[in-house]
Structure 1
Amino acid sequence: FTVAHSHLTMYGIIAFMLWGFTYTMVPRLTGKEPPRIMVGVHFWLALIGLIFYTFSLMYGATEKSMMWRNKLPFIDSVAHMYPYWLWRALGGTLMYISHFVFAYNLYRMIHRRNEILLPTAPADILVKLKDQEELK
């Protein structure tokens, strides 16, 4: 249970708090919002992954400790943990993927593209030429 509790604390509280801070402050500093759908994808991947990860550890560790309490061999408890480790691996994979989604979202908030304004009317072309002459 201790391992699950520490992951729940560090990842479930600290990481989510830092992500919330980042999603709040970076758009205010850069003026660019990340795509809403991708923020949702990041949140749900991380949350579902965290749930799979921690609940499998909590439940599996509790069963393992009961096996030790009943004086069963250690190797039996290791073999018994196999399905819980699979769920833990699935949860960890979802959490890992969510980090790439977060990196993409952060890139979208920070990266500024140079906008190219194409003139649509002859008057726009003349204004553009006049601006270029003034810069010389």
Structure 2
Amino acid sequence: MSLESQPSHRYPNETLIYHGYLGCSPLYPTIAISIHTLANYCQCHRTCPQFSIKAQCKALCHLHNFSDAYNIYLEILHHVNYRLNEALHRNMPNWRLLNTCPCCTYKLEDKPLLALEWLVSIDGNNSLKRWASSTYSTARFSEASF
């Protein structure tokens, strides 16, 4: 496969990124992986953290240097988010605290404190589902036939 380089591209990775690929080495890549493949793995890994890079490589017919390219991809995403937060002036250390939902942090005067002031889930509320079923008794029973 040959990719046409733009006049402004000084390095091979600039041409690869322009065409939707990421090289597995910084200066002279011999192997490139598509950004789409890396984004696909990122989404699979988010929904199933047990889905490893090794499993992805086996699924994609033993790709070489996939983990290096994936680490570079994550680093690029980190820098893009950093620059975006900087442009939106979200780079103060206490920005998240200052911009949280007031309803979530509001406390009523003359009311007893709750046993749990906050219940936070960082996994799409999957653990909250388990917590609710273990905390509240339910009248739902299933009869096992095995």
TM-score (structure 2 length as normaliser):
0.25
Larger helix percent: 1
Asked which structure has the greater RCO (Cα within 8 Å, sep 6+), the reply is 1
Structure of larger gyration radius: 1
Larger strand percent: 2
